[in-house]
Amino acid sequence: MKIGELAKLTDCSIQAIRYYEKEGLIASSARSGGNFRLYNQAAVQRLLFIKHCRSLNLPLCDIRQLLQLQDTPSAQCDQVNQM
């Protein structure tokens, strides 16, 4: 899906999506033949998680750590508890 569709599905601005991508919070998107950013369902879920964390006033550095732990299923739960 294109970035506009992702923005509508997640109620997130296009600028925020680009910022999160630039900051490495969501994976760099693939590009279409017309050079449009393309996103999959995993990007939707990740962006919804980021939005939820932001609604709890978590800073981006903590969100980044949570996402890294989420991406590493073998990580210890203590690491999350220490946050």
CATH number, domain containing residue 37: 1.10.1660.10
Per-residue pLDDT, 37: 87
Question: How many domains are there within the chain?
Answer: 1
Compute the Cα dihedral for 80, 25, 48, 32 and give only its sign.
Answer: negative
According to DSSP, the residues that pair with 30 across neighbouring strands are 38
Per-residue pLDDT, 77: 61
User: Is the pLDDT score of 82 beyond 90?
Assistant: no
Per-residue pLDDT, 27: 87
Integer angstrom CA distances of residue 39 from 15, 30, 48, 56, 78? 15, 7, 13, 25, 32
According to DSSP, the residues that pair with 2 across neighbouring strands are 38
Enclosing domain of residue 16: 3-82
pLDDT digits (tens, 9 = 90+) for 24-81: 999 877 888 888 889 999 999 999 999 999 999 999 999 999 998 888 877 666 555 5
Answer whether 26's CB lies under 8 Å from 50's CB: yes
Q: What is the mean pLDDT of residues 8-23?
A: 96
User: Which amino acid, 16?
Assistant: A
